[in-house]
Amino acid sequence: MDRQKLKKPLRFFSFFTLAALVLALIDHFLFFPLGPETTSYGTFYQEKKDSLDLVMVGSSTVRDGYIPRERYKEYGITSHSVDSSPTHLEVIKIAIDEIGRTQKPKVVYIDLNGLNNQTKDNAPTFVKDYFSSRPDDEETRKVKEGLRRKYPYLKQEKSWEPFSGHNSFRQQIYWESFVYNKQFYTKGYFPHTRVKEVKLTKVDPDKTLPLSKDAEEYLEEILLLCKKYPSIRFLFGQRPRYLSDGISSFDRYQIHSPLEASYRVRSAKKKVEENGYTFLDYTSNEFLKEVIGLDPKKDQYDAEHLNHRGAKKFTKYFGRYLRDNFFKEKPKHSSAVTEEFDKTYEGYRKIADKAEKKLGRK
């Protein structure tokens, strides 16, 4: 074969091989690891024992849609969101037990968005991410050993697998990791500053779509686990946003459109209420516009998430809901807890002020 003819394909192959190697090195060395001090999982363990009134558990819709510090400043409710992008249902099971072990919250909210697409097969990646973000100290060592026995795929040393799993260069979680070293100030909240107008899609208030077999099993397991903690008021549901019938996320775990996903999650309502728990569904266009005051042209980051301005609007509404139903009197805390929350509020304001300057305060 003519050597000249071979040069172009060889150059092409060499270029992409080199590009893949460079990206793999960037993935491994230049981006922040998901360690105990840089995720909402890890910073949750920095909270003083039995200091939280409320814990929010879920995926990015929780992380981007509820602002714990705003509710503390107005109502004195101490809260922390345990979340990632996304949080697997298997991790939610672990989180429920960990909340029960380390805190005595009055209320725990569990977002069920993962019911629409998560399977037992894709749990290992997310459980590993959670495990790696746990602090490695004497107090948690027994718990970590228990997790290793329950989940044989966990290893103490993390192996480097370029571009593998959710915790990698090409996943959205890394693009947002530059704010994660500030998550203790935000208590698990991420302030989006981008605006994307969401094309309104008619939402059928009565429509549901069936859950998969894995999702039904996960729902049963989560509800059964909650029974272990009768002193906690568990709330379930899905977060507010104007829904689209098209997929806008590049996350490879997103297999249903936001609208279709919401119909699947809504099918859990009956089972949740049969077990004596409250199901909160904030996806009606009328409710979003008339009650919360969300603007589809200004208040969303994309069709799955609120930006900071939208999050402030929902947090204000949800704070009133919590106050009227669970915290009619301002919670009381030790001086050590209130001093810590007051002090870290300053760190949150530095982040929020930048977001509000970019988006506008109204």
Per-residue pLDDT reduced to its tens digit, 162-206: 444 444 443 444 444 444 455 678 898 988 899 988 888 888 989
Q: Please state, as a whole number, how many other Cβ atoms lie within 10 Å of the Cβ of residue 208.
A: 15
Mean pLDDT computed over 218-227: 98
CA nearest to 34, candidates 146, 228, 176: 176
Model pLDDT, residue 351: 87
CA pair distance 142, 293, nearest whole angstrom: 47
For 324-327, which contacts have Cβ atoms below 8 Å and span 24 or more sequence positions? Answer: 326/106, 326/107, 326/233, 327/53, 327/75, 327/76, 327/77, 327/106
Q: ∠337-59-139 over CA atoms, to 5°?
A: 45
- Chain length of the chain: 362
Model pLDDT, residue 304: 83
Per-residue pLDDT reduced to its tens digit, 121-173: 989 888 888 887 788 888 888 888 899 999 988 875 455 454 444 444 434 44
Name the range with the highest mean pLDDT among 81-85, 256-260, 286-290.
286-290
89 and 45 in contact (C-beta within 8 Å)?
no
What pTM does this model have? 0.85
Please tell me the chain's helix, strand, coil percentages from 3-state DSSP, rounded to the nearest 5: 50, 5, 45
